[in-house]
Amino acid sequence: MIRFDCHAHVYEKVTAIDGARYTPSRPAPLADWLAHQAANGLRGGVIVQVSFLGTDNSEMCAALARLDRARFAGVGVAPLDIGDEELDQLVHAGMRGVRWNLVRGAVMPALNAQPTRRFLSKLRERGLHLEVHLEGPRLAPHLPVLIDQGVDLVIDHFGLPSEPIPEDDPMIRAVRSLKVRNSLFFKFAAHYRTAFDITPHANELLSMLPDGHIVWGSDWPHTQHETRSGYSEVWSRAEDWRELSDGAAVQRLYGFE
């Protein structure tokens, strides 16, 4: 059974960084997200740092300060050179992972470079996972190296596959080629960010990944797709995976009880 919404964005005000690729027209208040959860029988979830706020995680931290840490957590955005003290403050606030938002041509950090190695070492030391948002064709060649970094790896939005037939999709083929998948997790969230029916790809992932390596997310408030989707619609779309148990995954990734 799906009990948690593991991908939502919460912000009480809209103050975009310079160069933000998209700025929503209105806030996404914590109270609204909690109301959606209550209406759909969910008991907690994960606030993911939204791209237009950059590395300013203050909105996420402020929301987490009002929530039960046994049922709510955050995934923030941090620069590679983040200091130990600042990272520890984010962990203390409830952050359980760091997101690399690499869509639309953003550069993948060089995994063998010293700054990236130091950053990943800090994640390992604190038991934090790495969450990656990247189009499937770009993700595929990096996947074998990403899962070999000693941290749990969470892939956003079904891995953003590019081919309607799973057997032709480079992301699906990359997952299938992995000999060990124990550190690999996927978020089933935002089906509308893929131009075709995502169900066959989701079923392929379910067949390839170990049990307990999938979480679901609403992607509320559906940034850039606000007029095309809503919470009730994405929850209805999750019917295909409603019996999927997220208990083991949310305990390992977020420490939920």
The 3-class SS string of 223-251 reads: CCCCCCCCHHHHHHHHHHHCCCCCHHHHH
Percentage of residues of the chain with pLDDT beyond 90? 86
Q: How far apart are CA 198 and CA 208, in angstroms?
A: 16
pLDDT of residue 242: 78
pLDDT of residue 229: 80
* 128 CB burial (10 A radius; 0-12, 13-18, 19+): buried
pLDDT of residue 243: 83
Q: What is the mean pLDDT of the chain?
A: 94
Model confidence at 19: pLDDT above 80: no
Residue owning tokens 């590019």: 162
Residue 7 three-state SS: strand
**CA dihedral sign of residues 12, 14, 19, 21:** positive
DSSP H or E run through 204: helix 199-208
Give tens-digit pLDDT for 85-109.
Answer: 999 999 999 999 999 999 989 999 9
pLDDT of residue 207: 96
For residue 22, what pLDDT band results from cuts at 50, 70 and 90?
A: low
pLDDT of residue 7: 98
Model confidence at 17: pLDDT above 70: no
Residue predicted with more confidence, 18 or 181: 181
Model confidence at 247: pLDDT above 70: yes
Helix residue spans in 55-126 (DSSP H) = 58-64, 84-93, 114-126
Backbone phi and psi for residue 187, each to the nearest 5 degrees, phi listed first: -100, 125
CA distances from 219 to 52, 166, 230 (A): 15, 23, 9
Residue predicted with more confidence, 124 or 52: 124
Q: Tokens standing for 1?
A: 């059974």
